């Protein structure tokens, strides 16, 4: 055969998939002619298919040195470079192909993919639109264009592109997934569910669609339907790790802890190497007080995934919940080292510092200044003009929170929303929590406008808040879980306020006011805040007891024969300083006992560690009772019938726990410090008319506790009258409290 016949035979072999025979002929042709262009190009293609990428690269380069005018050769070479992660050469080669042949749809499409993967979304959009112009029936171009439009927060446009792709390729389940995700971003939940179900009809085992639909049902408030959906998946595949994981997360959100842990343990058995599964089990166990097992999981994950942010997040979270605050802060510092822009690491460093008895108030403020600077540096605040109000127009107040739910913030927010002057104020709510419970629905009912933002990006949330043209945005989360400090750093309202959910300064210049009272922020301590204090005339909070709580129980010391001090605060608040102080109280009252109740005390090893801490300061474990959680809330509140006197924690005072104790007839002894979180007890007790239960130093704290314990008859009188006293005080006067809050809002706008 002559060379032309050999070339034709090799091409036929290549077409039929007999790459070995084709290779031999091409190699023979190259022995005859070292610069045989077609043999070089086709042999390069064979080497790509057989995985010999280095040889393929050399062959393409030889061919291109012979003829640089063939667009297909540049195109194929570009694809090879991209596969080898030589992105710069790949991009230049795609562009050379398109310079020669501008009407090459695959060239524009692949260049778009390359630019997309490099984060150049605007340039990628141009490429995809050019592809569609040249090849209007190419569904993947519409799909990819839709996906980058969604990344750019142009979700309505994204939906349009995915709909076009669906018309062209109605049997493609991936298109249904993309369409469903874009509709979810727009809060068009019902349409999104329809599209995702269409995708499952096309591909019943499509895991990404299954995940998206299950999570969407939760966003829709259809938790029972979501549970049934995940259970049906498990009926089909009992080893479906994602179904097990999501059931565990959902049951935890629904406070069915036994089922939550059961499903998470099953997920861990199916996928013991998955970081998301094991860390979720660790976080959940920690929340439920099973500290020791969570610590073991965290330590193994650090070994297996030493550079994963989530690993150190779990390690720090476990340490803080075990009252090892220094260890927790060290883990959060590691997160910032791994990812300096990580907002969760910043939030945890700030929140964790509130528990640290080794930091004084000035140091805590400085930590917040330093940490908030990291947030501010990562964003660009935009100036925003105050809205021009017409005479008689309502003031627009927005409440931003992850806690429109059964949560202390939700309980304290309810009397405010119930009693707002609706003629004077227009209320907006921005909820970040994943699901809406009965408490959440009750709160939402008091709002004029509600936005469920759990699935939203920061950019979309910013756009919505700005478009609502608020006069004041009140953040109720601060640096707590699911916080949005990076949104607030962008300046989304002309006046931004921190209130209720975070008992400290934010350290952020973009926050204008912090709502407190004269006890929380007395004159002379303004330097601890980057915000201007807005001082209420009453306490900073209004207490509204939950329904169906038990009556005040008899004084337990009358039957026990000894006084029982107690605290139902979470373990992180039991600092070393706190335990030393309580030990002094017990030493001053030798027959007394101490009862502590916390989620973490369900864990045997944790109890032993806490007893050891008391023994180290001279208190035998027999005098300290450690009790795990009690549910439901009615039974928990009845547990206050076991204690005579409540001891507030230091440095981080109680808020909800102090109000709960007082409502159940139990006096609270509190030590007043300098910062907001150190003065909450002083605020509540002074407002109640019991400043005599507030100490300014540790000896006074011991003295107050001793005095209360020494007069059982008077203690009994206090117990019988305390609920009525609280009920008739401004602490429980929702109407007057809210009028005072509204006066502060008006002052902020002057």
**Mind listing the pLDDT tens digit for each residue in 29-86?**
888 878 888 888 878 888 888 888 888 888 889 888 888 998 998 988 898 899 999 9
* Cα within 13 Å of Cα(648), Cβ side: 33
Q: Which residue has the tokens 């006293």?
A: 725
* Cα within 13 Å of Cα(590), Cβ side: 0
H or E element in which residue 563 lies: none
In the chain, what are the domains? 283-377 (1.25.40.10), 395-536 (3.40.50.11380), 557-732 (3.40.50.2000)
**In the structure, what pLDDT confidence band is assigned to residue 254 with cuts at 50, 70 and 90?**
confident
Mean pLDDT of 302-323: 96
Instruction: List the alpha helices (DSSP H) in 354-469.
Output: 361-377, 408-419, 438-444, 458-467
Cβ–Cβ < 8 Å for 84, 53? yes
- Encoded tokens for 703: 């003295």
- Encoded tokens for 372: 């908030």
CA–CA gap between residue 372 and residue 378 (Å, rounded): 10
Segment 65-77, tens digit of pLDDT: 888 998 998 988 8
Give the pLDDT of residue 525.
97
Cβ–Cβ < 8 Å for 41, 73? yes
CA–CA gap between residue 416 and residue 425 (Å, rounded): 12
Mean pLDDT of 452-467: 89
Give the pLDDT of residue 10.
79
- Comparing CA positions, the residue from 468, 462, 518 lying closest to residue 485 is 462
Strand stretches in 598-641, DSSP E: 624-627
Q: Which residues pair with 399 in a beta bridge?
A: 429, 474
- Comparing CA positions, the residue from 163, 116, 117 lying closest to residue 139 is 163
- Comparing CA positions, the residue from 516, 514, 515, 460 lying closest to residue 490 is 460
* Cα within 13 Å of Cα(186), Cβ side: 20
DSSP 378: T
Mean pLDDT of 277-297: 95
Residue 256: pLDDT over 90: no
Quote the crossing angle between the two packed helices 275-287 and 241-253, to the nearest 10°: 20
Cβ–Cβ < 8 Å for 403, 481? no
Percent of residues, the chain, with pLDDT higher than 90: 77
Mean pLDDT of 481-495: 93
Residue 678: pLDDT over 90: yes
Strand stretches in 387-544, DSSP E: 395-401, 425-431, 449-452, 472-475, 495-498, 513-517, 532-536
Mean pLDDT (the chain) is: 93
Cβ–Cβ < 8 Å for 281, 265? yes
Cβ–Cβ < 8 Å for 90, 96? no
pTM listed for this prediction: 0.83
**In the structure, what pLDDT confidence band is assigned to residue 615 with cuts at 50, 70 and 90?**
very high
CA–CA gap between residue 481 and residue 462 (Å, rounded): 19
Give the pLDDT of residue 712.
97
Give the pLDDT of residue 482.
85
Residue 473: pLDDT over 90: yes
DSSP 497: E
- Encoded tokens for 584: 């002094």
**In the structure, what pLDDT confidence band is assigned to residue 157 with cuts at 50, 70 and 90?**
very high
CA–CA gap between residue 267 and residue 262 (Å, rounded): 9
- Comparing CA positions, the residue from 670, 681, 662 lying closest to residue 721 is 662
Residue 391: pLDDT over 80: no
**In the structure, what pLDDT confidence band is assigned to residue 376 with cuts at 50, 70 and 90?**
confident
Q: How far is CA 65 from CA 73, 74, 76, 457, in A?
A: 11, 11, 15, 48
Residue 3: pLDDT over 80: no
Q: Which residues pair with 426 in a beta bridge?
A: 396
- Encoded tokens for 572: 């992180």
Give the pLDDT of residue 257.
86
């Amino acid at each position: 055969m002559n060379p032309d016949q050999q070339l034709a035979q090799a091409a036929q072999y290549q077409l039929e998939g007999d790459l070995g025979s084709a290779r031999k002929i091409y190699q023979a042709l190259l022995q005859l002619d070292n610069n045989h262009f077609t043999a070089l190009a086709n042999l390069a293609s064979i080497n790509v298919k057989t995985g010999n990428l280095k040889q393929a690269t050399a062959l393409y380069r030889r061919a291109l040195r012979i003829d640089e005018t063939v667009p297909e050769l540049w195109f194929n070479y570009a694809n090879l470079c991209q596969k080898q992660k030589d992105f710069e050469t790949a991009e230049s080669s795609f562009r050379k192909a398109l310079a020669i042949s501008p009407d090459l749809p695959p060239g524009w499409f692949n260049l778009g993919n390359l630019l997309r993967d490099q984060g150049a979304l605007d340039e990628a959009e141009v490429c995809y639109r050019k592809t569609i112009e040249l090849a209007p029936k190419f569904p993947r171009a519409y799909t990819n264009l839709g996906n980058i439009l969604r990344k750019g927060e142009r979700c309505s446009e994204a939906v349009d592109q995915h709909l076009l792709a669906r018309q062209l390729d109605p049997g493609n389940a991936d298109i249904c997934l993309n369409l469903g995700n874009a509709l979810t971003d727009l809060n068009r939940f019902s349409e999104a569910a329809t599209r995702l179900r269409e995708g499952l009809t096309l591909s019943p085992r499509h895991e990404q669609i299954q995940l998206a639909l299950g999570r969407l049902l939760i966003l829709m408030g259809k938790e029972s339907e979501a549970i049934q959906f995940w259970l049906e998946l498990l009926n089909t595949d009992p080893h479906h790790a994602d179904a097990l994981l999501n059931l565990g997360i959902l049951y935890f959100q629904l406070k069915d802890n036994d089922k939550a842990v059961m499903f998470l343990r099953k997920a861990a058995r199916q996928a013991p190497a998955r970081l998301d599964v094991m860390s979720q089990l660790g976080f959940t166990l920690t929340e439920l007080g099973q500290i020791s097992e969570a610590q073991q999981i965290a330590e193994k994950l650090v070994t297996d995934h030493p550079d994963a942010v989530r690993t150190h997040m779990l390690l720090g979270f476990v340490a803080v919940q075990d009252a090892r605050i220094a260890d927790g802060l060290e883990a959060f510092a590691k997160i910032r080292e791994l990812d300096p822009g990580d907002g969760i690491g910043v939030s945890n460093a700030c929140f964790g510092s509130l528990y640290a008895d080794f930091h004084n108030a000035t140091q805590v403020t400085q930590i917040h200044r330093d940490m908030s600077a990291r947030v501010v540096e990562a964003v660009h605040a935009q100036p925003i003009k105050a809205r021009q109000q017409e005479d008689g127009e309502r003031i627009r107040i927005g409440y931003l929170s992850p806690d429109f739910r059964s949560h202390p913030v939700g309980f304290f927010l309810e009397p405010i929303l119930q009693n707002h002057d609706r003629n004077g104020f227009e209320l907006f709510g921005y909820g970040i929590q994943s699901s809406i419970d009965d408490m959440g629905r009750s709160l939402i009912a008091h709002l004029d406008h509600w936005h469920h933002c759990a699935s939203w990006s920061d950019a979309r949330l910013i756009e919505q808040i700005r478009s609502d043209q608020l006069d004041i945005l009140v953040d109720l989360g601060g640096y707590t879980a699911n916080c949005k400090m990076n949104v607030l750093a962008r300046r989304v309202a002309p006046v931004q306020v921190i209130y209720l959910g975070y008992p400290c300064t934010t350290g952020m210049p973009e926050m204008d006011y912090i709502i407190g009272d004269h006890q929380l922020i007395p004159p002379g301590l303004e330097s601890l805040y980057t915000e201007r204090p807005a001082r209420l005339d009453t306490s900073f909070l209004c207490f509204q007891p939950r329904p169906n709580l038990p009556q005040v129980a008899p004084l337990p010391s009358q039957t026990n024969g000894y006084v029982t001090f107690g605290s139902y605060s979470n373990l992180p608040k039991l600092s070393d300083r706190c335990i030393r102080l309580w030990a002094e109280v017990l030493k001053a009252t030798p027959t007394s006992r101490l009862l502590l109740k916390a989620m973490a005390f369900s864990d045997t090893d944790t109890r032993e560690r806490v007893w050891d801490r008391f023994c180290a300061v001279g208190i035998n474990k027999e005098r300290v009772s450690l009790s795990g959680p009690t549910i439901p809330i009615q039974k928990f509140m009845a547990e206050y019938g076991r204690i005579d006197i409540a001891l507030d924690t230091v440095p981080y005072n109680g808020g909800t726990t102090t109000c709960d104790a007082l409502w159940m007839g139990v006096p609270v002894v509190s030590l007043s410090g300098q910062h907001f979180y150190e003065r909450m007890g002083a605020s509540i007790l002074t407002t109640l008319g019991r400043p005599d239960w507030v100490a300014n130093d540790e000896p006074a704290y011991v003295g107050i506790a001793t005095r209360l314990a020494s007069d059982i008859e008077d203690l009994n009188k206090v117990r019988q009258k305390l609920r009525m006293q609280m009920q008739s005080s401004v602490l429980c006067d929702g109407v007057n409290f809210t009028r005072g809050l509204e006066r502060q809002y008006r002052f902020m706008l002057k």
